[in-house]
Amino acid sequence: MKIFIDTANLDEIRRAAEMGVLDGVTTNPSLVAKEKCNFKERVIEICNIVDGPVSAEVVAVDTAGILSEGREIAGWHKNIVVKVPLIDDGIKAIVQFTKEGIRTNCTLCFSAVQAYIAAKAGATYISPFAGRLDDIGHDGLEIIGQIRQIYDNYGYETEILAASLRHPKHVLEALMIGADVATIPGSIISMLTKHPLTDKGLASFLADWEKVKDLV
Ligand code: G3P
């Protein structure tokens, strides 16, 4: 499963990239707003740090507007994937972007049938938001499992990009389901290597080594 980082924060991106296991980046208008930065400049900076897919979202909600914004955004850098909301006008735009060879990430997906339509439109990625479904008492990971089965049943090549992941267990569940990508906030990526028994075991190995290291 590929790991994308879900942020527009450059320090977080650099930290995750330094570990060598980062495959891409997703942003959205709320993440960009948090950084109080220029959208275009920030997206290009991100593309120059991570040589992988970088999702940048349109804010138009009509097909013509989505197409015009998306074409412009896609022209900023070769790494860019145009993020398009899962609405009728967005689906129409994805069909056209697909014909033009522009990669898309169909976002704000909350059901498996929505994901089915996005795949038919030719979306490169589908982003089901697990955490936001959990927030309203649904099972976000169950929907990702349904999407996996639908895509496998019919051979859709759209990649499942598990999004709105809130804790390491979400990441584990995405792995078990067979999501193609997980987009993860920086704070959760840092948690993925942590286990108290690892720390305890390491402390005890190092302490024991101190006792013998000078013996000849
Ligand atoms: O970028 C899309 C998604 O990951 C948003 O997550 O935590 O705002 O629901 P969240």
- The Cα–Cα gap between 80 and 57 comes to 10
Strand locations in 52-140 (E): 54-57, 80-85, 104-109, 125-128
Q: Which pLDDT value is given to residue 125? A: 98
Contacts of 185 (CB under 8 A, 6+ apart): 5, 6, 7, 165
- At 188 the three-state DSSP class reads helix
**Residue 151 neighbours by CB distance under 10 Å:** 21
Give 3-27 pLDDT, tens digit per residue.
999 999 999 999 999 999 999 999 9
Q: Which pLDDT value is given to residue 12? A: 97
Q: Which pLDDT value is given to residue 28? A: 96
Contacts of 191 (CB under 8 A, 6+ apart): 167, 168
Give 85-131 pLDDT, tens digit per residue.
999 999 999 999 999 999 999 999 999 999 999 999 999 999 999 99
Q: Using the mean position of ligand 1's atoms as its centre, give its distance from the Cα of residue 205 in Å.
A: 40
Which pair of structure tokens corresponds to residue 63? 């097909």
Give 177-195 pLDDT, tens digit per residue.
999 999 999 999 999 999 9
The superfamily in CATH containing domain 2-215 is: Aldolase class I (3.20.20.70)
Indicate if ligand 1 lies below 6 Å from the C-beta of 26: yes
Give 68-85 pLDDT, tens digit per residue.
999 999 999 999 999 999
Give the chain's mean pLDDT.
Answer: 97
Position in ligand 1 atom list of the atom nearest CA 55: 1
Closest CA to 168 of 194, 192, 190: 192
Task: Evaluate if pTM is beyond 0.75.
Answer: yes
Indicate if ligand 1 lies below 6 Å from the C-beta of 156: no
Q: Which pLDDT value is given to residue 216? A: 79
Q: Name the residue at shortest CA distance from atom 8 of ligand 1.
A: 164
- The Cα–Cα gap between 101 and 140 comes to 30
Q: Name the residue at shortest CA distance from atom 10 of ligand 1.
A: 164
Closest CA to 40 of 12, 80, 92, 5: 80
Which pair of structure tokens corresponds to residue 201? 């075991």
| Torsion from C-alpha of 131, 143, 108, 83, nearest 10 degrees | 110
Q: Looking at the DSSP assignment, which residues form a beta bridge with residue 82?
A: 56, 104
Position in ligand 1 atom list of the atom nearest CA 26: 1
Is 211 labeled as catalytic in the residue annotation? Answer: no
Contacts of 68 (CB under 8 A, 6+ apart): 60
